[in-house]
């Protein structure tokens, strides 16, 4: 469905570059191949010992860059695992946007101002755990390396991206748990609309670590099997890791430099349940408000939406609340809107999930195909969701999608995207 | 709701402070009338080395009890407690009723390290005991956005809930973000808060990086802009502000303290992950361009609130960037350069508390720790006395890792 004419005064914002790191590999091509393949990349993680945990599964990024030019960089050895995901995805996005070698403007007042807007929730927690183990160890020779904590602050992945691409504009790191990536895209959209930046590198990165793995186990929020979003037998999420990055520009700027749009970010919205620290509002009231806010920001009505890339964690409460939210926003049409969950394939990337799911959504819009949501058992008929299973669904025209992200603390984010389906 | 006109004035109508002297306006004012009150940390965990700094500017837990019931406090991490008390005080000062925020109230917070003591406790459980010992309660309160979520629960604030973690630049970005939420028509009012917790592990880690006053047997006195500066004091606390449109404030009879003006963000890509860079010229150029775009020049400012805290490299960079705005002025001809972190220790709420004092006006002692100017810097910090309400202030925050933010605040009467 073609988007209705926007009644906001803002210029359209184009997606000119994409980057991704996931369990399928360190590129967008890997991501799209995996999405098309439709097989979940969730297995036993090798990174750390999972003895005694409720689940033995995660979606882990393969260490396959050891022979690449990346691994020969001095910075590579210094970066945390999350920093590496962030920088590789951002570099891919930057290169695919065709904006040159780096963002460095060397003080040239006429050069575009580039900003970084990055979400995440773990940063270098994995490395900090090793530091802490050594710090508290009574074993001889277990000296902690303080340098390993230099990437610990949550601003580190965004800073690493800015440093690598020689950015001179604003850098903003968002850490609102699992909504961080979506909120970072919203911040980037604001910055472009208000002219604070000319090019925005928006995204997020997170890596697996023992703290989140044990924490979600303690909450009994993980499924012992690969997660099954919106299924009757769903029993929790699967953890994942990786990064997603979008390069965003105002449409007129992109056209002026002869660039090509891969899609467009039409709007973003946010809300808070103000209900409970971990449980979503059972009626999805806050989630619905975030979706409505994003549609309002895009100048679109609910009837414009062609598919939803749901937060879809696979936890009983989250999926149920999300369905209530979709019903509240889309009314009786909710059960006819195709819904997919990237988490069914790659698990939950936590703070970066909104970013990588936005990348996945742009790819679906661009290729005119909605990826499937694997899982075990039947779709929960109490939810009424038109879940995309078994085979991809075709999109045509200029379809519109909503990507949703809901977090601990009741923070919700939603992003409205469009593209030119090629199916 | 549609976006508001760009010219809509966003004002601050309430402040709430939690700091070393207690909670509220008077304790905050006291903080600025004296040198930082340093208290020795609990060193029993053995994280510190023999030559470590040993003290920080700490909140006294008992000072919160008047404002936060024990049964509520038990369910919160220290930064959540600080943030909730600060938000409640700010909300009340703005003349608003607690618990009725609704979907037109948003929350934007800033923190550098999040709830570090709860993270430490969780790591102890997972790494030293067993992963199965991880406490669900600690986990949910160990996330960086827990304070923002707790503020939302207190106020029933159902608008956007965003936590920024851009280190020292975060509080200014949060203020700019809060104003943008209102200007975009997404909120009627926003609570902006900066919050930080100084626990022994964080202190010991910063000490090992050698950035604290007192690290490696150095003198344990932070000396912002001083020739002998060696590092900063870690501080903790929270400062919350209530933002709304000027019209909304006036309509309900509230008195604005100040107007949130334009902001500028920049990044110095020469900075290391744990330090500052050499990119003063580029940062200064971004600042100059930003001010120029807003039609502002050096002569428009009658107060500078600086994020300097006593670091060797950080204060040098800060001075070089500030001097670029006033290149031909002798140091004593610059507007007063107020350095709040010299009193509060280095944390985000310190800079917001400095803004609060600046906008309200008040007494402050001479910049603690400063006695001998560094000729290489060309900046002499506030000499003490009455800090008059400015027509327009420039706030400057440069962050470890390379990011920078500047914010202009104006008198409501301008």
Mean pLDDT calculated for residue range A226-232: 98
Element (H, E) at B147: helix B146-155
- At the topology level, CATH places domain A13-418 in Peroxisomal Thiolase; Chain A, domain 1 (3.40.47)
Q: Is residue B3 part of a domain?
A: no
Task: Say if B316 is an interface residue toward chain A (CB within 8 Å).
Answer: no
Same structural domain, B129 and B160:
yes
Q: Is residue B274 part of a domain?
A: yes
Dist CA B157 CA A409 (whole Å)? 12
Same structural domain, B47 and B152:
yes
Same structural domain, B271 and B382:
yes
Dist CA A79 CA A278 (whole Å)? 31
Same structural domain, B302 and B180:
no
Same structural domain, B163 and B301:
no
Dist CA B361 CA B301 (whole Å)? 15
Q: Is residue B5 part of a domain?
A: no
Dist CA B279 CA A129 (whole Å)? 33
Show which of B208, B229, B258 is a domain's final residue.
B258
List the structure tokens of B410: 């104006």
Show which of B234, B258, B282 is a domain's final residue.
B258
Q: Which residues contact A401 (CB under 8 A, 6 or more apart)?
A: A305, A306, A307, A308, A309, A361, A364, A365, A416, A417, A418
Report the pLDDT value the prediction gives residue A109, as an integer from 0 to 100: 66
Q: Is residue B365 part of a domain?
A: yes
Q: At B152, which CATH number?
A: 3.40.47.10
pLDDT tens readout for residues A144-165? 999 999 999 999 999 999 999 9
Q: Are A177 and A205 in contact (CB under 8 A)?
A: no
Same structural domain, B73 and B183:
yes
Whether residue A3 is predicted with pLDDT greater than 50 in this model: the reply is: no
Specify whether the backbone of A98 is left (phi greater than 0), alpha (psi in -120 to 50) or beta: left
Q: Are B407 and B266 in contact (CB under 8 A)?
A: no
Q: Are B162 and B187 in contact (CB under 8 A)?
A: no
Same structural domain, B221 and B266:
no
A215 and B47 in contact by Cβ < 8 A? no
Show which of B238, B258, B278 is a domain's final residue.
B258
Burial class (CB in 10 A: 0-12, 13-18, 19+), B298: middle
Which residues in chain A (94-113) have CB-CB distances under 8 A to chain B? 104, 106-107, 109
Q: Is residue B362 part of a domain?
A: yes
Specify whether the backbone of B10 is left (phi greater than 0), alpha (psi in -120 to 50) or beta: beta
Q: Is residue B32 part of a domain?
A: yes
Residue recorded with tokens 């499937």: A372
Q: Which residues of A are catalytic?
A: 178, 311, 348
Q: Of A245, A260, A171, nearest to A206 (Cα)?
A: A245
pLDDT tens readout for residues B108-146? 999 999 999 999 999 999 999 999 999 999 999 999 999
A409 and B160 in contact by Cβ < 8 A? no
Same structural domain, B176 and B265:
no
Quote the number of domains for chain B.
Answer: 2
A173 and B144 in contact by Cβ < 8 A? no
Mean pLDDT calculated for residue range A226-242: 98
pLDDT tens readout for residues B23-77? 999 999 999 999 999 999 999 999 999 999 999 999 999 999 999 999 999 999 9
Dist CA B183 CA A193 (whole Å)? 12
Whether residue B217 is predicted with pLDDT greater than 60 in this model: the reply is: yes
Same structural domain, B207 and B271:
no
Q: Is residue B1 part of a domain?
A: no
Same structural domain, B272 and B309:
yes
Q: Which residues contact A72 (CB under 8 A, 6 or more apart)?
A: none
**CA contacts within 13 A on the Cβ side of B413:** 5
Give the domain extent around B283.
Answer: 261-410
Dist CA A249 CA A235 (whole Å)? 40
List the structure tokens of B30: 């006291």
Same structural domain, B59 and B160:
yes
Whether residue B99 is predicted with pLDDT greater than 50 in this model: the reply is: yes
Question: Nearest CA to CA, how far is B174 from chain A (Å)?
Answer: 9
pLDDT tier for residue A107 given thresholds of 50, 70 and 90: low
DSSP 8-state code for residue B278? S
Query: How many residues in chain A?
Result: 423
Q: Which residue of A52, A147, A211 is in closest CB contact with B132?
A: A52
Chain B contact set for A126 (CB, 8 A): none
Q: Of B160, B60, B191, nearest to A286 (Cα)?
A: B160
Same structural domain, B244 and B231:
yes
Q: Where are the domains of chain A?
A: 13-418
Beta-bridge partners for B266: B404
Q: Of B130, B76, B115, nearest to A213 (Cα)?
A: B130
Task: Say if B135 is an interface residue toward chain A (CB within 8 Å).
Answer: yes
pLDDT tier for residue A6 given thresholds of 50, 70 and 90: very low
């Amino acid at each position: 469905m073609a988007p209705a004419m926007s009644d906001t005064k803002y210029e359209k914002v184009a997606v000119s570059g994409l980057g991704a790191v996931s369990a399928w590999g360190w590129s967008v091509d890997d991501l799209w191949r995996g999405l098309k393949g439709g097989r979940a990349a969730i297995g036993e993680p090798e990174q750390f010992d999972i003895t005694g945990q409720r689940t033995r599964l995660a979606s882990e990024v393969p260490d396959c860059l050891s022979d690449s030019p990346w691994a020969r960089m001095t910075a590579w050895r210094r970066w945390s695992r999350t920093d590496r995901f962030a920088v590789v995805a951002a570099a891919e996005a930057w290169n695919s946007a065709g904006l040159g070698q780096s963002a460095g403007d060397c003080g040239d007042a006429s050069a575009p101002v580039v900003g970084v807007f990055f979400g995440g929730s773990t940063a270098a927690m994995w490395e900090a755990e090793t530091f802490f183990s050594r710090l508290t160890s009574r074993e001889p020779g277990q000296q902690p390396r303080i340098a390993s904590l230099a990437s610990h602050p949550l601003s580190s992945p965004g800073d690493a991206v800015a440093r690598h691409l020689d950015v001179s504009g604003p850098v903003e790191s968002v850490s609102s748990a699992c909504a961080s990536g979506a909120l970072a895209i919203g911040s980037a959209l604001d910055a472009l609309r208000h002219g604070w930046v000319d090019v925005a590198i928006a995204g997020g990165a997170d890596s697996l670590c023992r703290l989140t793995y044990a924490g979600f186990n303690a909450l009994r929020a993980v499924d012992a099997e690969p997660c099954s979003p919106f299924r009757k037998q769903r029993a929790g999420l699967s953890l994942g890791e990786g990064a997603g990055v979008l390069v965003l520009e105002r449409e007129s700027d992109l056209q002026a430099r002869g660039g090509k749009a891969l899609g467009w970010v039409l709007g973003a919205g946010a809300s808070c349940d103000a209900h409970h620290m971990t449980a979503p509002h059972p009626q999805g009231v806050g989630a619905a408000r975030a979706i409505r806010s994003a549609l309002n920001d895009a100048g679109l009505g609910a009837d414009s939406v062609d598919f939803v890339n749901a937060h879809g964690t696979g936890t009983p409460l989250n999926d149920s609340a999300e369905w209530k939210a979709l019903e509240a926003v889309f009314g009786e049409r909710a059960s006819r809107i195709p819904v997919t969950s990237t988490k069914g394939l790659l698990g939950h990337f936590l703070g970066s999930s909104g970013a990588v799911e936005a990348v996945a959504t742009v790819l679906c819009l661009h290729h005119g195909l909605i990826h499937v949501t694997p899982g075990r058992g039947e779709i929960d008929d109490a939810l009424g969701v038109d879940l995309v299973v078994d085979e991809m669904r075709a999109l045509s025209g200029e379809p519109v999608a909503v990507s949703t992200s809901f977090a601990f603390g009741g923070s919700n984010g939603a992003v409205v995207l469009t593209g030119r389906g090629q199916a | 709701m549609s976006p508001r006109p760009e010219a809509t004035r966003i004002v601050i109508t309430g402040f709430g402070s939690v700091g070393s002297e207690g909670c509220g306006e008077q304790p905050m004012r006291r903080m600025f009338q004296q040198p930082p009150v340093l208290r020795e940390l609990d060193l029993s965990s053995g994280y510190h080395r023999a030559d470590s700094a040993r003290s920080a500017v700490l909140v006294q837990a008992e000072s919160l009890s008047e404002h936060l019931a024990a049964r509520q406090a038990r369910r919160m991490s220290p930064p959540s407690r600080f943030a909730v008390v600060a938000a409640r005080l700010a909300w009340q000062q703005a003349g608003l009723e607690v618990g009725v925020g609704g979907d037109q109230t948003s929350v934007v917070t800033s923190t550098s390290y999040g709830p570090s003591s709860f993270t430490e406790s969780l790591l102890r459980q997972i790494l030293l005991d067993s992963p199965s010992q991880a406490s669900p309660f600690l986990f949910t309160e160990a996330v960086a956005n827990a304070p923002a979520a707790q503020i939302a629960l207190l106020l029933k604030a159902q608008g956007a809930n965003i936590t920024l973690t851009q280190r020292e630049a975060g509080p200014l970005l949060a203020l700019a973000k809060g104003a943008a939420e209102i200007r975009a028509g997404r909120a009627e009012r926003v609570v902006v808060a900066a919050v930080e917790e100084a626990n022994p592990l964080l202190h010991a880690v910063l000490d090992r990086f050698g950035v604290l006053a007192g690290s490696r047997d150095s003198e344990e006195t932070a000396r912002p802009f001083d020739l002998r500066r060696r590092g900063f004091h870690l501080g903790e606390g929270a400062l919350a502000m209530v933002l709304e449109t000027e019209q909304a404030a006036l309509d309900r009879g509230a008195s604005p303290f100040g107007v949130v003006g334009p902001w500028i963000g920049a990044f110095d890509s020469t900075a290391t992950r744990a330090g500052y860079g050499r990119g003063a010229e580029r940062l200064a150029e971004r600042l100059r361009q930003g001010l120029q775009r807003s039609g502002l020049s050096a002569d428009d400012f009658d107060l500078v609130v600086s994020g300097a805290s006593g670091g060797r490299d950080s204060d040098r960079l800060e001075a070089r960037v500030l001097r670029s705005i006033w290149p031909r002025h002798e140091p004593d001809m610059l507007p007063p350069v107020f350095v709040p972190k010299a009193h509060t220790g280095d944390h985000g709420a310190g800079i917001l508390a400095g803004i609060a004092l600046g906008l309200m006006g008040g007494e402050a002692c001479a910049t603690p720790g400063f006695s001998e100017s560094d000729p290489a810097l060309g900046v002499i910090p506030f000499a003490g006395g009455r800090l008059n309400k400015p027509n327009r202030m420039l706030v400057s925050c440069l962050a470890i890792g390379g990011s920078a933010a500047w914010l202009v605040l104006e008198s409501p009467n301008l």
